[in-house]
Chain A
Amino acid sequence: MKVGHQERRRMLANRYRTDFLFRICAVAMLLIGLGTLAVLLIDVLMDGAGKLSWSFLTSFPSRKPEQAGVLSPLVGTLYLMLLTAALALPVGVGAAVYLEEYSKQNWFSRIIEINIANLAGVPSIIYGLLGLELFVRAMKLERSLLAGSATMALLVLPIIIISAREALRAVPSSIREASLALGASQWQTVWNHVLPLAFPGILTGSILAFSRAIGEAAPLITIGALTYIAFLPDGLLAPFTVMPIQIFNWVSRPQRGFHEIAAAAILVLMAVLILMNALAVYLRQKYQKRINL
């Protein structure tokens, strides 16, 4: 069908109008998301920025808001994350390697797959209850750093497994064939070739998982992590507290002074989060360059 010039102009004008409307909608959606975040940040900054100081980072929590600091929750959060990573990474990557490289595709592996995906969506408080029963009571770890990080490890494990599997799947099978054709065993192939190539992807996924865990308070409150600690954990079995719990505690107090230091603590927590993500990006870039060279 031949369309005349006038007709074509009219149709095009309509299409450009739709195009324009759609663009306006997309920008509006973006502004809703970013705007909320900005309001949140500004609110927290206005409340808390004045309270940030070196002594805020190096003092223990206190009954007096003007003397209180975040030393023990900050150190607790860092220890907890390191320990969680140490527990969850080997288990998660190991499980992913088994599922991707070794297991046969059948109904059993599919059930495992569906279950892992489901576990990633289980509310964190459920993991807290599991940790309470399993680590705190059955294994008698009490309300220790170890029990806390074991619980957190359970929480992040499904996400690590899923992202590690994605990363392993992205390694071309020609690399596996090249290695096996030389007489490498499956383990040698995985260890020497597949894992190093998948590493940047595994790292990215894991850091995202830890970013989720670092803001979690619920499962740790469930296992009975303390809210007031005036000393640093001195071992795996020491009691501990973390930033979100401390913030939760301060926010729930009536005095205005505690609300301000809660805002300051939120800023500290966000700074830790940004540092973690920056580290992940840095490591990934560095590693990928080595592979692509």
Chain B
Amino acid sequence: MDTTSPTAFQIRDLNSWYGERQALSKISLSIPEHRITAIIGPSGCGKSTFIRCLNRINDLIPGFRVEGRVLFKDQDINDPAMDPIEIRYRIGMVFQKPNPFPKSIYDNIAYGPFLWGTKKGPPMDATVEESLKRAALWDEVKDKLHQSALALSGGQQQRLCIARALAVEPDVLLLDEPCSALDPIATARIEELLLELKKSYTIVIVTHNMQQAARVSDVTGFFLMGELIEFGETKQIFTNPKDRRTEDYITGRFG
């Protein structure tokens, strides 16, 4: 394990259920700060459920229940005293399918800062430009900021969603299979972007693309049927996995 980096999330014995069905069992791991942590595993293994536990976005799902501790900077985010809105403000999220608001590019970025009090006019213009630049989208859209975001390509939409998440200046960026709907070129651009962003953000990315995990992440966790099978430095996971099931999965021997 990388010991040089402080911890962003400490997860201890996390269990969760959708109604009667258990989705996660006994997950314990530490997510380092300013690193990219990849969560890999086959479909339905609980990796999306896991990442969605980190900013309480699962609160919205009827019948969802969670047990155990998710400590973010030593505070339990599932503590009733914690405000889910504040948590989501500090822990941004990008979803599997690009989900821009059906509004202009500008308004998409401006919505988050608007919620948190950025004034209209020059301050907002500056925030929008800054966010789009950080998401490496500015040059492509600077002349059409007031056109609909839905007119952008899939890859641009996803970078817009990343820019939108960055606009509220979160500490953490959670990405739930952000490239699954994108072509390889758009995927490469997003990966480049993530490597750039990890200087300032803690990043957790769920992916079912193992090459992607190997390319971008520092730390990798392998999930299988709601359990964390192995967690460690990406290099070690991919070259010298300790668990047989991890090896089977990454070498493609899985059924």
* Interface positions of A (Cβ within 8 A of B): 104-105, 172-185, 188, 192-193, 197, 291-293
Measured in the bound complex, the distance between the Cα atoms of B168 and A178 in whole Å is: 13
Tell me if B81 counts as interface (CB < 8 A to partner A): no
Tell me if B26 counts as interface (CB < 8 A to partner A): no
Residue in contact with B112 in the complex, picked from A105, A176, A182, CB distance below 8 Å: A182
Residue in contact with B168 in the complex, picked from A172, A174, A183, A185, CB distance below 8 Å: A183
- Size band of the B side of the interface? 20 to 34
CB pair A180 B88 closer than 8 Å: yes
Tell me if B93 counts as interface (CB < 8 A to partner A): yes
Instruction: Answer whether A183 and B85 are a contact pair too, CB < 8 Å, given A188-B115, A293-B148.
Output: yes
Measured in the bound complex, the distance between the Cα atoms of B101 and A135 in whole Å is: 44
B window 207-226: CB within 8 A of A? none
Instruction: Answer whether A175 and B148 are a contact pair too, CB < 8 Å, given A181-B165, A183-B168.
Output: no
Tell me if B97 counts as interface (CB < 8 A to partner A): yes
The 3 A-B residue pairs with the shortest CB-CB distance, nearest first, are A183-B89, A174-B99, A182-B112
Specify the chain A residue showing the minimal Cβ separation from B97.
Answer: A174
CB pair B60 A176 closer than 8 Å: yes
In angstroms, how far is the closest chain A Cβ from the Cβ of B219?
23
Tell me if B23 counts as interface (CB < 8 A to partner A): no
Residues of A within 8 A of B102 (CB): 175, 197, 291-292
Q: A172-B99, A182-B92, A182-B111 are in contact. List 10 more A-B contacts (CB 8 A).
A: A174-B97, A178-B99, A178-B161, A181-B92, A181-B95, A183-B86, A183-B88, A183-B89, A185-B85, A292-B150
| Most chain B CB within a 10 A radius of its CB, from A175, A182, A185 | A182
Residues of A within 8 A of B164 (CB): 178, 182
B window 171-218: CB within 8 A of A? none
CB pair B62 A104 closer than 8 Å: yes
Tell me if B254 counts as interface (CB < 8 A to partner A): no
CB pair B55 A181 closer than 8 Å: yes
CB pair B62 A181 closer than 8 Å: no
CB pair A177 B148 closer than 8 Å: no
Instruction: Answer whether A177 and B99 are a contact pair too, CB < 8 Å, given A182-B165, A188-B115, A292-B150.
Output: yes
B window 76-97: CB within 8 A of A? 85-86, 88-89, 92-93, 95, 97
Residues of B within 8 A of A180 (CB): 57, 60, 88
Residues of A within 8 A of B151 (CB): 293
| Most chain B CB within a 10 A radius of its CB, from A176, A184, A188, A292 | A184
Residues of B within 8 A of A176 (CB): 60
Instruction: Answer whether A193 and B112 are a contact pair too, CB < 8 Å, given A181-B165, A182-B92, A183-B88.
Output: no
Specify the chain B residue showing the minimal Cβ separation from A197.
Answer: B102
Measured in the bound complex, the distance between the Cα atoms of B148 and A180 in whole Å is: 21
28 A–B contacts from the bound complex (CB under 8 Å): A174-B95, A174-B99, A175-B101, A178-B95, A178-B99, A178-B100, A178-B101, A179-B101, A180-B57, A180-B60, A180-B88, A181-B88, A181-B92, A181-B93, A181-B165, A182-B89, A182-B92, A182-B112, A182-B165, A183-B85, A183-B88, A183-B168, A184-B111, A184-B115, A188-B115, A197-B102, A291-B102, A293-B150
CB pair B111 A179 closer than 8 Å: yes
CB pair A177 B95 closer than 8 Å: yes
Measured in the bound complex, the distance between the Cα atoms of B161 and A174 in whole Å is: 12
| Most chain B CB within a 10 A radius of its CB, from A105, A174, A176 | A174
Residues of B within 8 A of A188 (CB): 115
Specify the chain A residue showing the minimal Cβ separation from B98.
Answer: A174
In angstroms, how far is the closest chain B Cβ from the Cβ of A169?
13
Measured in the bound complex, the distance between the Cα atoms of B101 and A183 in whole Å is: 15
Residues of A within 8 A of B115 (CB): 182-184, 188
